Amino acid sequence: MPRSWSSRPRAAWPVRLLAALAAATAACRTAPPAAGPPASSDLSERTAPPPLELGGLDVPEEGDEPVAKPPPKRPEPALVHDLAGAFAALEQGNPEGAAAFLAGALRQKPGDERVRLALAHAHLATGATDLAATALDLKAGQPSPARLRLLARLLAARGDQAGAIALLQRAAADPSELPARGELLSLLVAAGQEKDPKAVALREQLYDAYDAGKAKSVEELTAVARAALARGSTGAFHDANMVLGEAEKLPLETASLEPAFALRDRALLLRGAMFREKYAAAEAIETYEQILRRDAWHAEALAGVAAAHLEELRLAAASEAAQRALQVNPRQPEALGVLAKVALVEGRRDEATARAQGDMLAASPGHPDALAVLAGAALARDDQAAYARLRDQAAAGNPLPFYLALADLLVSMHMYEQTGAVLDEAAKRAPDNAYVQSAMGLNLLRLGKETEGRAALKAAWKRDRFNERTRNTLDLYDQRIDPLYTDVSDGDLSLRLLKEDQEYVSPDMLAIIARARQSLDKRYALRPTPLRIEVFADPSDFSVRTIGVPSLGAVGVCFGRLITALGPYAGTHNFHQVVWHELAHVYAVQLSKGRVPRWFTEGLSEWESELADPSWARESAELLAVARRKGTLRRLSELELAFLRAGSAQAMEVAYTTAAYAVRYLGETYGLPRLIAMLKGYGEGGTTEALMERHLGKPLAVVEQEFETWLFGQLDSKIKGWEPAKSRGDKPDERDKLLAEALAHAQKKDMTSAARALQQLIQGRGDGYVSRMTLAEVLMQGPSWKQAAEHYDKARGFRPESVEPIVRLAELARRDGDVAREKALLREGLAIDGMSYDPAARLVMLAAVTADAPNRDYALDRAAAIAPLHPLTLGAQALRAAAAGDKARARSLSDRALKNMNDGPLAKGPVDTLVVLALAAEAAGDTTRAKILAARAGAEPKLPAPAKQAMERVRTAK
């Protein structure tokens, strides 16, 4: 699911004190808020330098990606010396110690069923299934129903469903044995026999027992919960959840043959799995943690946590929890499944196949997750014959768990067309299954097939009213999309956007889409059609439409020929960049049949965006330089992990930035035709290693080394001068002490001493971006503020990518009344930073009052891409419409810009917006409002001279 993130990394200052020293630069990095008209495009209140609030240098740096840590090592098992200690050891995470003692205890008292069952539990906890089977040998005395049930679970885990069913039928012959009935029913349901008369009878017997008040223990209530889940109806989840809640509240059963905590654990594990089925990962993890608070190394609970993390695509957390589980039980099937799935999603097909084939199927023959991983790997390499064999193998039992697990995997791998084919097969086998219908409906929506997708979701909802993604998506359509959104068509393009104000935003959207498609069609010799783009005004609406839950942090997602995006309604991002980025994904996805790795398609989209407009480039040398110094910069061969295991927003930015550099290097070195050949090769199932050999003529290791040489040269050319110790990753030296001394003086408001220390630092091998920016900011606090310009200019030489020195120079020009220089500097800043509204808006105003049409149009295009409904943007659009002779359009735009004038924040300013609105009203022929607005703007004492003259002209016009 290729994604655009909300902004390119700003030039991340290596010392956070500059965020306080240069607080005024925040204006150029703060987009207008979502509520009401964006608050400000005016910097007039920010020209005075802010008070210094320096906290020293001990602050984390941006771009600092957490280094992956191995999971904690499990403590060595401790010796146990008595029976009570053995039971305590089993309860508290020391099954090996418990087993060693209990084995001897059972030899001494072979008829002690409690010891026998505890020993079996200890062996099962560590995956010693053969030893557990020996302990549970039915020939050893008269087996209790608990022993029969425990042995049945072991046989089922080994793939012997028939043997397990036979044992449970034997135990269930006792009319009072509700737990065996519950487990027998679960096995029949797992085998696809939920409608078999025997299964129906078992379910009714358990319900009758509950209604008669006979289900009183934790085990009996757990059995009733299994009956509820077997119904598969709308109320099944509610009933099961209620009954398991009752079970959790019961006191531990000291008289039970099995350890009392194990009975409660079984109920909690069932409840956790039930929450996961409903995509309630947080509730599932919370349930498993009730077990882990007692036993931090409970393998089944850890495996459940790992699976819940995986369902949310938290791959690093999933892997860690699974690896912890395997430290206890190296054969734990769910933990093995998580690691196999993670390996497949991360592109390590050989590892995934080895885990599924060698570990999972060896421990649990026919395990549906293992077969799903192998089938996913087969589809990834476009091996239809292998897929068919695995599908047929799964069909020998109940194939639905296989189909659902495979569909989830394919979605995680962005193979949506293949997902649809798999779910079509599942639906033929189980047309009424709510999980299949829900998965199918969501995938149809990803493919842009709304009518069919909504019908499938409604069918799922009738049968299961507790699936969070189903409910959220249906509510989104019924309560938001249908009443609030509309579709605009343009040839083979269908564009969804908010009905309100669509006439003001759709022309620009359609224009940028058309321009991007024309360019990309030509570059890739391809016309993906039809194309659908859905633009949402609310982040929650966008997130639910995209992933089914309101938690997505991206602003654009490409599913193939369907793109969902967060529109430019809150001024948080450059919508033009998002459109170009996501459209580039469309071509990569189509050429690769959805098999392109994340790093390649994201890097390609970033490269295409940069070619379209260099200010959109996501190539922050500083961000990568910090990661390089910290040792967290991923190599080319590991770049997929940078995306999939990013532990923070900054780590994700490092991933995007590295990919942007990587694909630009590949494109400039080898040419776009070879990259297109690689895309087609991915579509045929090729791996990056093989495709580089075939199309670049070099092994990955060589390409990787050559890329790193080029990349480090790029970074070294863009990051120059002295860096403080924290940025260098070294121990502080005398230069760091001087910088700390300067900061201490500044905190005490002693700017003279601060400046003196900084001058000494610069003259003593400490010249660099930080020292120059800090000195400039110190000078800005006093009477020598004009001298700051020299140091901002020097800072630019050390960090040519950084926009902050340019912004501060523009503010200096404004403070000095030099409008021409301010405009020139704003234009320079916009050429570097394509994501900030305020400098674009400021340049619009200055250009408008100086009759500078080229700068006005340049800045207006940028402002419209970020905040088209900001009053200043609308006002400037009105000016352009009037200049083109379209007075009606100008009046409409002016009226919309003034819509909230009387009661919004614009009633008292800000002044830049008032200036543009006054000119717009005048151009639209609304002289009365033009004069009112001009009078308000003209009252601002800090208004630039050309603006003041323009407002006076408007105010006094006859």
pLDDT, tens only, 403-417: 999 999 999 999 999
Give the pLDDT of residue 21: 35
Q: Are 743 and 761 in contact (CB under 8 A)?
A: no
pLDDT digits (tens, 9 = 90+) for 626-671: 899 888 999 999 999 999 888 788 889 999 999 999 999 999 999 9
User: DSSP code of 265?
Assistant: H
Q: Are 780 and 816 in contact (CB under 8 A)?
A: no
- Where would I find the H helices in 430-574? 434-446, 450-463, 468-475, 482-484, 502-524, 539-547
Q: Can you say how many angstroms the Cα of residue 601 is from the centroid of all Cα atoms in its chain?
A: 16
State how far the Cα of 272 lies from the Cα of 287, in Å rounded to an integer.
6
**For the range 35-38, what are the long-range contacts, defined as Cβ-Cβ under 8 Å and sequence gap of 24 or more?**
36/900, 36/904, 36/905, 37/869, 37/870, 37/871, 37/900, 37/904, 37/905, 37/906, 38/571, 38/837, 38/867, 38/870, 38/871
Whose CA is closest to 895, among 919, 916, 924? 924
Give the pLDDT of residue 313: 85
pLDDT digits (tens, 9 = 90+) for 138-166: 999 899 999 999 999 999 999 899 999 99
Give the pLDDT of residue 31: 30
Q: Are 375 and 387 in contact (CB under 8 A)?
A: yes
Which pTM does this prediction carry? 0.85
Phi, psi of 75 (to 5 degrees): -60, 150
Superfamily of domain 144-250: Tetratricopeptide repeat domain (1.25.40.10)
Enumerate the domain spans of the chain. 29-42+803-958, 75-142, 144-250, 341-466, 470-592, 618-718
Instruction: Name the CA dihedral angle for 345, 351, 354, 360, rounded to a multiple of 10 degrees.
Output: -50
User: Looking at domain 341-466, which CATH architecture does it have?
Assistant: Alpha Horseshoe (1.25)
**What are the structure tokens assigned to 78, written together?**
């401790």
State how far the Cα of 224 lies from the Cα of 395, in Å rounded to an integer.
29
Q: Are 535 and 497 in contact (CB under 8 A)?
A: yes
User: Looking at domain 29-42+803-958, which CATH architecture does it have?
Assistant: Alpha Horseshoe (1.25)
State how far the Cα of 914 lies from the Cα of 935, in Å rounded to an integer.
9
**What are the structure tokens assigned to 228, written together?**
């509820």
Q: Are 865 and 512 in contact (CB under 8 A)?
A: yes
State how far the Cα of 939 lies from the Cα of 244, in Å rounded to an integer.
70
Domain 470-592 class, CATH top level: alpha beta
pLDDT under 50: residue ranges of the chain: 1-67, 903, 905-908
Provide the β-strand partners of residue 554.
Answer: 5
Give the pLDDT of residue 99: 97
User: DSSP code of 357?
Assistant: I
- Where would I find the H helices in 232-348? 236-249, 260-277, 281-292, 299-311, 315-328, 333-345
Instruction: Name the CA dihedral angle for 141, 145, 147, 150, rounded to a multiple of 10 degrees.
Output: 160
**Cα-based distances in Å from 876 to 840, 896, 947:** 11, 12, 15
- Where would I find the H helices in 525-620? 539-547, 575-592, 598-612
Give the pLDDT of residue 14: 29
Fold matches, 341-466 and 470-592: no
- Cα diameter, the chain: 113
Provide the β-strand partners of residue 487.
Answer: 496
